[in-house]
């Protein structure tokens, strides 16, 4: 199987006045054609920084990608010059961000913003670009797209703005779409519309999607494979059924236990994870989850576990088997 | 013993199981035009004909999308906003007519927890000042007693009592929300309105705060109105749930019934839009996907307010407002299509 995007050992550090923050610590993942990869984690776990690093969107300084490779069609994105990456960004790999109002320019019409990448990347003429933009606005479900081309972002509702963002990300036929919490700011009924739309587009256009979120419910619905991140590490990766059916990392277990389920029959107390996620100012020589872990043992305090295979395609970075409470191997 | 003086010394025992009775509450915000000669050109119909009874010790969930008027309803109940019409009976007293000192005295028994733990705490006050402010304002404690009480409250909400001299910026979001909760329960209220208390928090922290709210409810027999848009969390914490849409309650029933037998098409759509963390189940699920977004509350649709997005809309829906009818014990619904 050909990997469309293959990230290996990515490390990003951010220098602040209070010291260096180790935001991403050796993250590796890959994405196949037409696949939806979910990346889950809480705020500050490095999920957004990982993607921004791959796309050269980390402001430097203060941020710096210090190690790693990101192979896209056998070219290393991280070695590219700004000029080279600009050819890829927005045309072959495009991104949608969380807050549509903050990512659209409020003083330009959406028509202008939609046609700009087409003219820049695909060297289209104005008229042709406009037609294509209208076509995509219709595709993402914006009624009377032709008239709405000359509207400004504030004339759209939040859900409609997010649709405009998706249309903009899709116009250049990207191979990969990176969606960074695109539905977090939206209401559930609008979120359902957006998810339905994205799934439909994947089937229709066949692009691969990386969906970043903190919502395990959305991932269950959407993703083929999941990476769970904590403190800049991937701590568990698995096919979606395997992750929910047989979660192995104590953090994943904790996250799943802290979610109330709409279809649960009786009232059960939520299992919360005590404490809060750390901010790493050094490379830890211990498991970063150890201070909050129910299964913590001696070894966790001085050695961080690598990702270990537990079943087919299911890897976990933990010394303890949470079912038996004993050490792995 | 810690927590002792926080226990209700003299519980306001009345035999009435209904703590709060809201009747036909209406709140419209006027839209004004003109600088010198102001005139009203319209109104935001934030809450319309809102009626609900809340029993002592229960949790009433209030759900709906943004713009459905759930926050306004909460604030109008507490008289932060004065209603245009309607009544709010709290322990038998109508709050709507009350003013000044009388209202202030009633407010001791009703408190609020806010959504944004960053905006709801004064950054220049220490934690001790924040939590003791209600006690001082109502002259329920002198300085020394207040400090003791604050330490107990901090302990109760799971914070270290030595944090009393720290400032809000030294705390994380979850800890700040605990401070907001300590402040809300400092006056031993009967009713606490929780306005999206967990939506700004991280997944693993949400469960901590919800568990804390449940513990405090058991301990002090608190009555909650829990406002949120997260349907699974509302179902988890509430005894009964009211579903709001554009300022109107569409359906009101207990939580099991709401999930097992939702009658209103909006409730059905809302439930089906909530993702469930179970991939095989998700693949089998049939979804109802609503078209469009919530209309503007300035010109709400005539008749039934949901009719513009309703999958089973009928001609009568645009002409007549559906009555809020009881369909079996305690299950209320406002829909023409429900037989």
Read off the pLDDT of each residue in B211-233 and give the average, rounded to a whole number: 91
B202 closest CB neighbour out of A191, A214, A217: A214
- Name the closest residue on chain A to residue B256, using Cα atoms: A265
pLDDT interval class at B66 (50, 70, 90)? confident
Read off the pLDDT of each residue in B72-96 and give the average, rounded to a whole number: 92
Between CA B163 and CA B166, with CA B165 as vertex, the angle to 5 degrees is: 65
Residues 6+ apart with CB under 8 A from B51: B22, B23, B24, B25, B86, B249, B324
Task: Give contacts of A157 with chain B, Cβ < 8 Å.
Answer: 293
pTM value is 0.85
Are A62 and A14 contacting, i.e. CB atoms less than 8 angstroms apart?
yes
Are B300 and B321 contacting, i.e. CB atoms less than 8 angstroms apart?
no
CB contact under 8 A, A190 and B211: no
Give per-residue pLDDT as tens, B18-62. Answer: 999 999 999 999 888 888 888 888 888 999 999 999 999 999 999
- Name the closest residue on chain B to residue A241, using Cα atoms: B279
pLDDT at res. B43 = 87
Give per-residue pLDDT as tens, B168-182. Answer: 998 888 889 999 999
Strand ranges inside chain A, DSSP E: 3-16, 19-32, 36-40, 63-72, 75-76, 93-96, 176-180, 208-213, 225-230, 233-239, 308-311, 314-316
pLDDT at res. B8 = 40
**Using CB atoms within 10 A of its CB, is residue B67 exposed (0-12), middle (13-18) or buried (19+)?**
buried
Nearest-angstrom CA–CA distance, B147 and A84: 63
Task: Give contacts of A260 with chain B, Cβ < 8 Å.
Answer: 210, 232-233, 235-237
CB contact under 8 A, B270 and A189: yes
pLDDT at res. A1 = 52
Token digits for A182? Answer: 């695109």
A-B C-beta contacts closer than 8 Å: 127
- Residue B16 clears pLDDT 70, i.e. is over it: no
CB contact under 8 A, B275 and A218: yes
Residues 6+ apart with CB under 8 A from A265: none
Q: Tell me the ipTM for this assembly.
A: 0.80
Task: Give contacts of B211 with chain A, Cβ < 8 Å.
Answer: 269-270, 272
- Name the closest residue on chain A to residue B67, using Cα atoms: A187
pLDDT at res. A285 = 84
pLDDT at res. B2 = 42
pLDDT at res. B4 = 41
Between CA A305 and CA A312, with CA A311 as vertex, the angle to 5 degrees is: 115
- Name the closest residue on chain A to residue B232, using Cα atoms: A262
Residues 6+ apart with CB under 8 A from B135: B141, B145, B146, B149, B186, B187
Coil/strand/helix, residue B22: strand
Q: Is the CATH number 3.40.50.300 carried by domain B18-109+189-333?
A: yes
CB contact under 8 A, A259 and B229: no
CB contact under 8 A, B279 and A240: yes
**What is the distance in angstroms between the Cα of B9 and the nearest Cα belonging to chain A?**
29
Give per-residue pLDDT as tens, A249-307. Answer: 999 998 888 888 888 777 788 888 887 788 788 777 888 898 888 888 888 888 888 88
- Name the closest residue on chain A to residue B296, using Cα atoms: A157
Task: Give contacts of B272 with chain A, Cβ < 8 Å.
Answer: 192
Strands A308-311 and A314-316: antiparallel
Read off the pLDDT of each residue in B65-69 and give the average, rounded to a whole number: 84
Which stretches of chain A drop beneath a pLDDT of 70? Answer: 1, 329
pLDDT interval class at B113 (50, 70, 90)? very high
CB contact under 8 A, B211 and A269: yes
Give percent above pLDDT 70 in chain B.
95
- Cα distance between the two ends of chain B: 57
Interface test with B, best of A191, A259, A265, A278 (most B CBs within 10 A): A259
Q: How far are the Cα atoms of A43, A109, A182, B156 from residue A18, in angstroms, in the given order?
A: 19, 41, 31, 33
pLDDT at res. B332 = 94
For A295-306, letters b (16+ CB in 10 Å) and e give bbeeebeeebbe
Nearest-angstrom CA–CA distance, B85 and B70: 17
- Residue B230 clears pLDDT 80, i.e. is over it: yes
């Amino acid at each position: 199987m050909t990997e469309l995007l293959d990230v290996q050992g990515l490390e990003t550090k951010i220098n602040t006045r209070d010291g260096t923050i180790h935001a991403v610590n050796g993250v590796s993942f890959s994405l196949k054609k037409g696949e939806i990869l979910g990346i889950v984690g809480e705020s500050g776990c490095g999920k957004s920084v990982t993607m921004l690093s791959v796309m050269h969107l980390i402001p430097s300084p203060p941020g710096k990608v210090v190690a790693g490779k990101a192979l896209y069609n056998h070219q290393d994105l991280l070695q590219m010059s700004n000029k080279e990456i600009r050819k890829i960004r927005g045309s072959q790999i495009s991104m949608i961000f969380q807050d549509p109002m903050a990512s659209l320019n409020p003083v330009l019409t959406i028509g202008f913003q939609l046609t700009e990448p087409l003219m820049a990347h695909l060297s289209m003429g104005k008229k042709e670009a406009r037609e294509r933009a209208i076509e995509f606005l219709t595709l993402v479900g914006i009624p009377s797209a032709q008239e709405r081309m000359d509207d400004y972002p504030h004339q759209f509702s939040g859900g409609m703005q997010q649709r405009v963002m998706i249309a903009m990300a899709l116009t250049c036929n990207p191979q990969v779409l990176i969606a960074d919490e695109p539905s977090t700011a939206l209401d559930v009924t609008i979120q359902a519309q957006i998810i339905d739309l994205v799934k439909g587009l994947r089937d229709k256009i066949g692009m691969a999607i990386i969906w970043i979120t903190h919502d395990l419910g959305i991932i269950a619905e959407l993703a083929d494979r999941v990476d769970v991140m904590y403190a800049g590490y991937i701590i568990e990766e698995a096919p979606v059924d395997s992750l929910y059916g047989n979660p192995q990392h104590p953090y994943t277990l904790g996250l799943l236990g802290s979610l109330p389920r709409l279809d649960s029959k009786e009232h059960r107390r939520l299992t919360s994870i005590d404490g809060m996620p750390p901010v790493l100012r050094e490379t830890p020589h211990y498991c970063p989850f150890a201070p909050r872990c129910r299964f913590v043992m001696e070894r966790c305090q001085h050695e961080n576990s690598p990702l270990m295979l537990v079943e087919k395609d299911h890897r976990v970075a933990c010394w303890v088997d949470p079912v038996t409470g004993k050490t792995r191997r | 013993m810690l927590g002792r003086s926080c226990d209700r010394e003299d519980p306001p025992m009345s035999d009435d199981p209904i703590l709060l009775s809201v009747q036909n509450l209406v709140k419209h915000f006027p839209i004004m035009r003109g600088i010198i000669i102001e005139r009203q050109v319209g109104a935001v119909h934030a809450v319309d004909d809102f009626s609900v009874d809340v029993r002592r010790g229960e949790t009433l969930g209030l759900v709906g999308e943004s713009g459905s008027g759930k926050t306004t309803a909460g604030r109008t109940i507490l008289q932060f906003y004065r209603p245009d019409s309607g009544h709010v009976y709290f322990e038998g007293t109508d709050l709507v007519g009350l003013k000044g000192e009388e209202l202030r005295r009633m407010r001791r028994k009703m408190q609020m927890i806010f959504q944004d733990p960053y905006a709801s705490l004064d950054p220049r006050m220490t934690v001790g000042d924040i939590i003791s402010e209600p006690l001082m304002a109502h002259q329920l404690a002198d300085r020394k007693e207040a400090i003791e009480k604050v330490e107990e409250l901090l302990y109760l909400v799971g914070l270290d009592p030595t944090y009393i001299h720290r400032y809000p910026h030294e705390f994380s979001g979850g800890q700040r929300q605990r401070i907001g909760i300590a402040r809300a329960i400092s006056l031993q209220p009967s009713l606490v309105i929780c306005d999206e208390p967990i939506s700004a928090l991280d997944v693993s922290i949400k469960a901590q705060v919800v568990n804390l709210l449940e513990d405090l409810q058991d301990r002090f027999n608190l009555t909650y109105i829990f406002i949120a848009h997260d349907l699974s969390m509302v179902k988890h914490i509430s005894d009964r749930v009211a579903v709001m849409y554009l300022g109107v309650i569409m359906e009101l029933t207990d939580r099991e019934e709401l999930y097992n037998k939702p009658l209103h098409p909006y409730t059905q759509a809302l439930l089906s839009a909530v993702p469930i963390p179970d991939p095989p189940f998700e693949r089998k699920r049939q979804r109802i996907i609503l078209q469009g977004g919530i209309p503007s509350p300035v010109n709400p649709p005539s008749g039934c307010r949901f009719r513009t997005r309703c999958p089973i809309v009928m001609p009568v829906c645009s002409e007549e407002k559906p009555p809020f009818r009881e369909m079996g014990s305690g299950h209320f619904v406002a829909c023409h299509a429900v037989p």
